[in-house]
């Protein structure tokens, strides 16, 4: 099951993990590992489902004739700045 690991090695690893993380953290650790594995499987299945769609879109793009997209010409408007006369307010006083 685990290759060349025997039952004594597995028990030793379990004891070391129990000492490092403590009995209270083991359920949280197992839950986190379970969520990670489920997320990995879900993303792998989604990737398998998306891959044929991407290939079909690439084939359609390759089959369609390439049309030249005209580039809009840039129009530069030269505006001449007029000097603004200062506004003086007449104060009577």
The secondary structure of residue 24, as a DSSP letter, is T
Long-range contacts of 43-46 (CB under 8 A, 24+ apart): none
Q: Cα separation of 20 and 13, whole Å?
A: 11
What Å distances lie between residue 11 and 14, 16, 31, CA to CA? 5, 9, 20
Q: What is the pTM of this model?
A: 0.41
Task: Kindly give the confidence (pLDDT) of every residue in the chain, 93 residues in length, as a single tens digit, with 9 standing for 90 and above.
Answer: 557 888 999 899 989 988 888 888 888 888 999 999 999 999 988 888 888 788 888 888 877 655 556 566 655 555 556 666 666 666 564
- Helix, strand or coil for residue 84? coil
Q: Cα separation of 4 and 22, whole Å?
A: 27
């Amino acid at each position: 099951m685990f290759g060349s690991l025997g039952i004594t090695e597995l028990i030793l690893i379990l004891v070391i993990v129990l000492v490092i993380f403590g009995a209270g953290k083991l359920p949280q650790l197992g839950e986190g590992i379970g969520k990670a594995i489920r997320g990995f499987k879900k993303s792998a299945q989604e990737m398998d489902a998306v891959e044929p769609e991407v290939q079909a879109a690439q084939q359609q793009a390759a089959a369609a004739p390439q049309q030249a997209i005209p580039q809009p010409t840039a129009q530069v408007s030269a505006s001449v700045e007029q000097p603004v006369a200062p506004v003086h307010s007449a104060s009577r006083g």
